[in-house]
């Protein structure tokens, strides 16, 4: 017995009655449930742009559109100038750049909103086909669990396409698959050009190709579908070389330690606890069944491994658990079907909600640009461009992507492309920015012509007393230091005294 079946048994049933068209208050309940489910991604997604990686994606999309080609070596960093770089999310980058080119930052918000709604809609459909009675409640809970991932990132395509893949596999298992399953390879053509985590979809397909005795679809059919999807991933500009990036990212251990989105869940927020609850409920449901499904057990275990290894993959556990909690396919009683007037009313209410939230949160283009200036070094970058300070540029890790976008004339020293820069290099930079042992002798800092530091970084404080650099700008977000070309030893004492006063004034400590 599944958890949903157990809950359903608690609801009293009555003799079937002739169907009557829903009228008046009969539409209110289903409409409210639809609005409640889809209001979650709307409320989460309608917010200013704050993701640090979206900026280098925009610049990559701009570069591709301008050159009508893909880069061979990295054109954005001083480190990667002569090193090969695979733009594995090139299609996503072109998409977001075209959106930005047309609508500015509003286009990025619209992307986030549209993909968030699509993810929730795909999950809702997967659950409703198996447990229509509790589909709104289960979908809403799942949406709340992976709400932290509803960002302007290409992984939204991964969550969407993985949900579609799992839905196809469950239909194959239950003998409900139609001819539409053969469209799945075309999804993988898109997926392999949008986000590197298409490998998770192939993992699901490989899991389905094991010999399960209870599946109503033959192993040969599953194998052909999986093979076609695998071949479809080779329809990309890099072909088999794309899998080299998969291997790089899978074997790189550093990001799990120093990139926050790759950390394990810390259980400091409600979403993490909801993910744990989903996993526990799915395990409980499997344990109560008289006959275990090997596929579902393997799915839950592997999804739990990925989710607890990195919080960026928590969606995998939520998706697997939701499919298990939904249980086996159930009849779709007419009373649970959503009438067209109900869907129309819900759509109208959600459109009104989008307009209201956009107005209340001030999501005009002007305000979106202003909000960017509160998070990223807009003033500091403008000053560097205006004065033409010569590089090399030494920048904060989290600002590398933004500076790739705003200061294209100065290659960054580091940005969020972890597989390009490597573990050793990133760890050294993090030590330097925290003013750790040996920071003074960092070779990239030693050769830097301009340093752009976050006001909260330790390096920004100690550089105030460094004879090699001069503080030329400071605002509420960033400090700009330039290298002294001809320092005079007789001025050093008074300069350091004044800088020490500045250091104390801005809270750097002693």
Domain boundaries of the chain, sorted by first residue: 26-356, 376-505
Tokens found for residue 110: 């619209």
Is 409 exposed, middle or buried (CB count within 10 Å of its CB: 0-12, 13-18, 19+)? Answer: exposed
Dist CA 73 CA 411 (whole Å)? 13
Question: Angle 314-326/155-174 helices, nearest 10 degrees?
Answer: 30
Q: Which residues contact 460 (CB under 8 A, 6 or more apart)?
A: 453, 454, 479, 481, 508
Q: How far is CA 263 from CA 65, 433, 460, in A?
A: 34, 20, 26
Q: Which residues contact 325 (CB under 8 A, 6 or more apart)?
A: 2, 3, 4, 131, 138, 278, 281, 282, 285
**Sorting pLDDT into bands at 50, 70 and 90, what band is 493?**
very low
Per-residue pLDDT at 6: 39
Name the percent of the chain lying above pLDDT 70.
Answer: 88
The model's pLDDT over 374-418, given as tens digits with 9 standing for 90+, comes to 999 999 999 999 999 998 999 988 999 999 999 999 999 999 888
Dist CA 216 CA 485 (whole Å)? 76
- State the pTM of this model: 0.89
Q: Residues 215-222: what's their mean pLDDT?
A: 88
Q: Which residues contact 35 (CB under 8 A, 6 or more apart)?
A: 346, 349, 350, 353
Q: Which residues contact 386 (CB under 8 A, 6 or more apart)?
A: none
Check residues 279 and 496 and name the one with the higher pLDDT: 279
**Sorting pLDDT into bands at 50, 70 and 90, what band is 422?**
confident
- For all residues of the chain together, what is the average pLDDT? 88
Per-residue pLDDT at 110: 97
Query: 3-state DSSP call for residue 266?
Result: coil
Check residues 429 and 497 and name the one with the higher pLDDT: 429
Per-residue pLDDT at 371: 96
**SS3 for 334-394, per residue?**
HHHCCCHHHHHHHHHHHHHHHHHHHHHCCCCHHHHHHHHHHHCCHHHHHHHHHHCCCCCEE
The model's pLDDT over 440-480, given as tens digits with 9 standing for 90+, comes to 999 999 999 999 999 999 999 999 999 999 999 999 999 99
User: Is residue 4 predicted with pLDDT exceeding 60?
Assistant: no
Dist CA 194 CA 90 (whole Å)? 7
User: Is residue 104 predicted with pLDDT exceeding 60?
Assistant: yes
| Helical (H) or strand (E) element with 144 | helix 135-145
User: Is residue 177 predicted with pLDDT exceeding 90?
Assistant: no
Per-residue pLDDT at 151: 95
If we measure between CA atoms, which residue out of 206, 186, 127, 193 comes closest to residue 154?
193
The model's pLDDT over 44-62, given as tens digits with 9 standing for 90+, comes to 999 999 999 999 999 999 9
Per-residue pLDDT at 293: 87
User: Residue 20: left (phi > 0), alpha (psi -120 to 50), or beta?
Assistant: beta
Per-residue pLDDT at 7: 45
Question: Angle 365-375/378-387 helices, nearest 10 degrees?
Answer: 80
Dist CA 97 CA 113 (whole Å)? 16
Q: Residue 481 gets which letter from DSSP?
A: E
Per-residue pLDDT at 26: 59
User: Is residue 23 predicted with pLDDT exceeding 60?
Assistant: no
Dist CA 362 CA 353 (whole Å)? 14
Residues in the chain: 510
């Amino acid at each position: 017995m599944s958890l949903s079946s157990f809950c359903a048994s608690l609801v009293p049933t009555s003799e079937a009655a002739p169907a009557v068209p829903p009228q008046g208050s009969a539409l209110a309940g289903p409409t409210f449930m639809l609005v409640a489910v889809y209001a979650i991604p709307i409320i989460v997604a309608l917010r200013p742009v704050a993701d640090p990686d979206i900026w280098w994606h925009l610049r990559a999309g701009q570069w591709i559109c301008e050159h009508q080609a893909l880069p061979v070596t990295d054109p954005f960093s001083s480190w990667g100038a002569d090193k090969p770089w695979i733009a594995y999310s090139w299609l996503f980058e072109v998409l977001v750049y075209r959106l930005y080119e047309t609508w500015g930052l509003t286009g990025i918000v619209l992307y986030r909103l549209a993909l968030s709604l699509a993810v929730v809609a795909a999950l809702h459909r997967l659950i409703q086909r198996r447990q229509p009675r509790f589909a709104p409640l289960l979908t809403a809970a799942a949406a709340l669990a992976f709400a932290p991932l509803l960002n302007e990132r290409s992984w939204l395509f991964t969550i969407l396409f993985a949900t579609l893949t799992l839905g196809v596999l469950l239909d194959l298992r239950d003998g409900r698959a139609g001819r539409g399953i053969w469209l799945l390879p075309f999804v993988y053509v898109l997926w392999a050009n949008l986000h590197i985590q298409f490998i998770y979809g192939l993992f699901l397909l490989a899991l389905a190709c094991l010999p399960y005795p209870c599946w109503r679809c033959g192993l040969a059919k599953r194998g052909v579908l999986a093979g076609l999807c695998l071949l479809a991933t080779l329809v990309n500009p890099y072909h088999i070389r794309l899998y080299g990036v998969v291997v790089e990212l899978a074997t790189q251990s550093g990001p799990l330690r120093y990139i926050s989105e790759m950390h394990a869940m810390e259980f400091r927020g409600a979403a993490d606890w909801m993910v744990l609850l989903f996993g526990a409920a799915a395990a409980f449901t499997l344990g109560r069944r008289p006959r275990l499904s090997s596929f579902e057990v393997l799915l839950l275990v592997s999804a739990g491994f990925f989710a607890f290894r990195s919080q960026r993959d928590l969606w995998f556990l939520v998706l697997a658990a939701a499919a298990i909690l939904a249980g086996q396919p159930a009849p779709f009683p007419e009373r649970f079907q959503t009438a067209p007037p109900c869907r129309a009313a819900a759509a109208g209410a959600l459109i009104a909600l989008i307009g209201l939230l956009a107005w209340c949160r001030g999501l005009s283009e002007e305000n979106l640009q202003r909000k960017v200036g509160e998070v990223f070094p807009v003033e500091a970058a403008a000053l560097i461009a205006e004065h033409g300070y010569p590089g090399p540029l030494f920048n904060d890790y989290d600002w590398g992507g933004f500076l790739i976008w705003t200061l294209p004339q100065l290659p960054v020293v580091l940005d969020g492309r972890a597989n390009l820069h490597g573990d050793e290099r990133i760890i050294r930079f993090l030590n330097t920015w925290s003013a750790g042992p040996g920071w003074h002798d960092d070779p990239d800092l030693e050769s830097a012509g301009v340093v752009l530091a976050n006001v909260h970084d330790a390096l920004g404080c100690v550089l105030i007393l460094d004879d090699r650099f001069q503080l030329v700008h400071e605002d509420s977000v960033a400090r700009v230091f330039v290298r002294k070309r001809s320092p005079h030893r007789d001025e050093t004492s008074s300069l350091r005294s004044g800088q020490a006063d500045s250091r104390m004034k801005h809270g750097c400590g002693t």
